[in-house]
Amino acid sequence: MKLLSLFLCLIGLTSLSLNAQDVMTPETLWNLGRVSLDDANEHAVIYGVTNYDLDENKGNRNLYMVNKASGEVTQLTDLDGGEYQAFFFRGGQSVGFFYQDQLHSVDPRTGEIKALTAIEGGVSDAKCVELKEGRLVMAFVTSVSMEKTPLERRPHLPMANYAVYDELMYRHWNQWTDYQFNHIAVAVIDPLSDQPVTEMVDIMAGEAVHAPMPPFGGSESFDISPDGRFIAYASKKSVSKLDFATSTDSKIYLHDRTSHVTATVHGLDGYDNNPQFSPDGQWLAFTAMAEDGYESDINQLYIVASDDAGKVQTLDPVMETEYVSEFQWLSNSSIVYRDQHEATQHIHRLDLLKGKRGLSKRHIVDLTSGDYNYGHFIAKGKHVVAQRQDMNHANELYLFSSKKASDVQALTHVNDSIYDALDLCKVEKRWIPTSDGGSMLTWVIYPPHFDASKTYPTLLYCQGGPQSPVSQFYSFRWNFQLMASQGYIVVAPNRHGVPSFGKAWNEQISGDWGGQAMEDYLAAIDTLAKEPYVDKANLGAVGASYGGYSVYMLAGIHENRFAALISHCGLFDMKSWYLSTEEMFFANKDLGGPFWQDNEPPSYSKHNPINYVQHWTSPLLVIHGANDFRVPVNQGMEAFQAAQLRGIPSRFLYFPEEGHWVQSPQNGLVWHDEFFGWLKKWLKD
């Protein structure tokens, strides 16, 4: 408790001259319940709420059920450790969920909980299909040892601590290889039995490949046919271990549990993923990217007949759209999907027409609108339930029609009492001209109690990715509401390189990281600096990942615009980064390949922040985690050391146990304290 009190005291010191009781603070941000959707049927919705205990430095997720008609909420679980991936079965009489890596069930009427599996090694990222006779077919991810560990190589040296690697990818995002592979396994469960199931079948036995693909692949990467016979899953089986680091060529594989034969669905050359069977099992839909090695290519929807899935055939997208983020069959002739448009995420219904070449688009109905991000959704019958957030509100669940655009109804109110006590921020949408003749959507977030007759220190927010839009997201780290509530105007541009503004806008940035995007950032801050309420002498630039790179790049070219800079896990020297990162397909596509080519790409010279250190003048806070393997910690250390040796006021905030993101609650409080402390020191209100 003393440690927590110290944190909260420090955070209090960072607040500017505002009433701390009616604006967002770091403590309030951590007090929010984090709402996420699990399942829905015609009558009710299951969701989880994660709450964090700052003293214990951990979170816990409990399950709830809300009645669609009455809004009545029932708490389903209150276990220690978190419950996940809940689903209805037995006509809604039972709810399945995963707890402590095993499948359990709970009776919503009595609260009785029963373990349905006791599988050695545990169950993760599972999906279940209920058969007509009441049994459940469960597909899930299991870890399989396929290579010798260091101890197994030299059992006579049990005290040795070492690792040996012969190929890429030997580490990924925040984990070193553990000599194991993700495999899809299947178990058949009788939910009425008194004995939990212990048996499983590894449908990929003997294959030294991953499915789902690490590090982020989960249950969205596979599906079960309605009759339980077929498992469709995504994997990079066709590439070598070296190619795993340089290629994105994944395929969908269709495993027949009856014949034990696995067929390849011949998709496109890039990522094929997210397979889903139609309700009658006749069709298999999936998303795919055309270009191998381009992880941010347009992601379109394809549908093949399940009987023909293994045949080589010409594939055409069902519709022309920039990026399908998520989709779900509503019926055998319609699909509900989510995409991005002009820095918002919305949900649509696609109606399908059967023709000689399969299913094709009949028409599209927009189901949502407005300046919101609609997230994960469940489409059942006449309703869609979806997570929704905006820059002033974390996720809550909303209900709306699957038939037409209509009013949305709030289903959950987990954080209403907190937000009702706060003065929220005004969010303004601006279109700012760019130097190449384009127009850039820029969000401007104003402090609570904003007074246009006063002047405010102002932050330029630099987005990561680089192919990631500044949408209506609600981050628990880079939270615009929190920044503005500390007395700053926040300028958040959708510069060249972000999706949802067309393919050309998105692709412009590859090979040009330090070019047009930097001009866009300067155009945004220069445009806002013309406003009388922006304090031109107290501008800051902040960002993470590519946004952190942007801060380092701007540090050398901003010509004294910025009085304070903050870079979290930013790329500083493109040559050393190329040789220390892990997913080489990303580096090759976005930088233009290695620096030892005959014609060295400009990424290593003109667009390399290290080459502009001699022009640095502004105070710099560098933040990095030791387990960040996407942007290794040497990048932050080099930038900090350069600033120190040049006599630039600088600080290095180092988290030994964090990766690309800061996930520990108490580390998060430290992060915000240092972040706002640095701004307060160098930007005057």
Element (H, E) at 622: strand 620-625
Residue 677 forms part of a structural domain: yes
- Give the pLDDT confidence score for residue 13 in this predicted structure: 38
Last residue of a domain, one of 375, 403, 418: 418
Structure tokens at 162: 């070492």
Do 143 and 94 reside in the same domain of the chain? no
Residue 446 pLDDT exceeds 80: yes
Q: Are strands 201-202 and 222-224 parallel, antiparallel or unpaired?
A: unpaired
Structure tokens at 597: 């080519």
Which residues on adjacent β-strands are paired with residue 300?
288
Do 519 and 594 reside in the same domain of the chain? yes
**Helix, strand, or coil (residue 331):** strand
pLDDT in tens, 470-488: 999 999 999 999 999 999 9
Is 444 within 8 Å of 427 (Cβ atoms)? Answer: yes
- Give the pLDDT confidence score for residue 597 in this predicted structure: 96
Do 142 and 234 reside in the same domain of the chain? yes
Do 647 and 585 reside in the same domain of the chain? yes
Mean pLDDT of 645-654: 98
Residue 3 pLDDT exceeds 60: no
Confidence of residue 580 (pLDDT cuts 50, 70, 90): very high
Do 71 and 182 reside in the same domain of the chain? no
**Helix, strand, or coil (residue 132):** coil
Do 129 and 162 reside in the same domain of the chain? yes
Vertex 595, ends 504 and 168: CA angle to 5°? Answer: 90
Do 510 and 521 reside in the same domain of the chain? yes
Any catalytic annotation for residue 660? yes
244: domain CATH number is 2.120.10
- Give the pLDDT confidence score for residue 81 in this predicted structure: 87
Percentage of the chain modeled with pLDDT above 70: 96
- Give the pLDDT confidence score for residue 355 in this predicted structure: 84
Mean pLDDT of 219-234: 97
Domain that holds residue 37: 22-108
Residue 636 forms part of a structural domain: yes
Confidence of residue 123 (pLDDT cuts 50, 70, 90): very high
Vertex 600, ends 594 and 604: CA angle to 5°? Answer: 75
Mean pLDDT of 3-23: 45
**Helix, strand, or coil (residue 488):** coil
Confidence of residue 310 (pLDDT cuts 50, 70, 90): confident
How many structural domains are present in the chain? 3
Q: Which of 149-158, 387-396, 617-626 has the lowest mean pLDDT?
A: 149-158
Residue 356 pLDDT exceeds 80: no
Is 540 within 8 Å of 563 (Cβ atoms)? Answer: yes
Do 408 and 510 reside in the same domain of the chain? no
**Helix, strand, or coil (residue 147):** coil
Please report, as a single letter, which amino acid is at residue 277: F
Distance of CA 546 to the CA centre of its chain: 15
Confidence of residue 11 (pLDDT cuts 50, 70, 90): very low
CA distances from residue 524 to 87, 383, 391, 392 in whole angstroms, order as listed? 46, 40, 19, 22
Instruction: Report the interhelical angle of 546-557 vs 516-529 (nearest 10°).
Output: 70
Percentage of the chain modeled with pLDDT above 90: 90
Do 235 and 329 reside in the same domain of the chain? yes
Vertex 104, ends 100 and 107: CA angle to 5°? Answer: 135
Residue 197 forms part of a structural domain: yes
Do 608 and 666 reside in the same domain of the chain? yes
Tokens 């709970």 sit on residue: 106
Residue 6 pLDDT exceeds 90: no
Residue 349 pLDDT exceeds 90: yes
Residue 623 CA to residue 674 CA, distance in Å, equals 9
Do 338 and 484 reside in the same domain of the chain? no
pLDDT in tens, 416-427: 999 999 999 999
Any catalytic annotation for residue 22? no
Is 269 within 8 Å of 256 (Cβ atoms)? Answer: no
Residue 547 CA to residue 553 CA, distance in Å, equals 10
**Closest by Cα among 354, 586, 568, 357 to 466:** 586
Residue 103 CA to residue 114 CA, distance in Å, equals 9
Any catalytic annotation for residue 545? yes
Last residue of a domain, one of 108, 137, 169: 108
Mean pLDDT, the chain, rounded, equals 94
Mean pLDDT of 245-267: 96
Residue 423 forms part of a structural domain: no
**Helix, strand, or coil (residue 106):** strand
- Give the pLDDT confidence score for residue 314 in this predicted structure: 85
Residue 28 pLDDT exceeds 80: yes
Structure tokens at 412: 């959950």
Confidence of residue 312 (pLDDT cuts 50, 70, 90): confident
- Give the pLDDT confidence score for residue 394 in this predicted structure: 98
Mean pLDDT of 495-516: 97
- Give the pLDDT confidence score for residue 321 in this predicted structure: 87
Residue 19 pLDDT exceeds 90: no
Quickly count: other Cβ atoms within 10 Å of residue 611's Cβ.
16
483: domain CATH number is 3.40.50.1820
Do 94 and 190 reside in the same domain of the chain? no
Residue 493 CA to residue 516 CA, distance in Å, equals 13
Is 624 within 8 Å of 652 (Cβ atoms)? Answer: yes
Last residue of a domain, one of 108, 132, 167: 108
Query: Sign of dihedral through CA atoms 303, 304, 310, 313?
Result: negative
- Give the pLDDT confidence score for residue 26 in this predicted structure: 96
Residue 429 forms part of a structural domain: no
- Give the pLDDT confidence score for residue 17 in this predicted structure: 37
Residue 44 CA to residue 88 CA, distance in Å, equals 9
Is 154 within 8 Å of 160 (Cβ atoms)? Answer: yes
Residue 484 forms part of a structural domain: yes
Residue 454 CA to residue 456 CA, distance in Å, equals 7
State the catalytic residue, choosing from 393, 558, 660, 672.
660
- Give the pLDDT confidence score for residue 14 in this predicted structure: 40
CA distances from residue 197 to 6, 185, 394, 595 in whole angstroms, order as listed? 48, 13, 38, 54
Query: Sign of dihedral through CA atoms 619, 623, 628, 634?
Result: positive
pTM, two decimals, is 0.94
State the catalytic residue, choosing from 339, 520, 628, 673.
628
Q: Enumerate residues 6+ apart whose C-beta is below 8 A from 75.
A: 62, 63, 64
- Give the pLDDT confidence score for residue 8 in this predicted structure: 38
Q: Which of 318-322, 388-392, 418-422 has the lowest mean pLDDT?
A: 318-322
**Helix, strand, or coil (residue 215):** coil
- Give the pLDDT confidence score for residue 484 in this predicted structure: 98
Residue 18 pLDDT exceeds 50: no
Query: Sign of dihedral through CA atoms 407, 413, 419, 425?
Result: negative
Helices (H), 513-598: 516-529, 546-557, 574-578, 584-591
State the catalytic residue, choosing from 545, 550, 567, 618.
545
Q: How far apart are the first and last CA of the chain?
A: 33
Residue 487 CA to residue 5 CA, distance in Å, equals 24
Residue 102 forms part of a structural domain: yes
Surface-to-core class of residue 435, CB atoms within 10 Å of its CB (0-12 exposed, 13-18 middle, 19+ buried) = exposed
Quickly count: other Cβ atoms within 10 Å of residue 316's Cβ.
12
DSSP state at residue 46: E
Residue 1 pLDDT exceeds 50: no
Residue 16 forms part of a structural domain: no
CA distances from residue 551 to 164, 309, 343, 453, 461 in whole angstroms, order as listed? 36, 47, 22, 30, 9
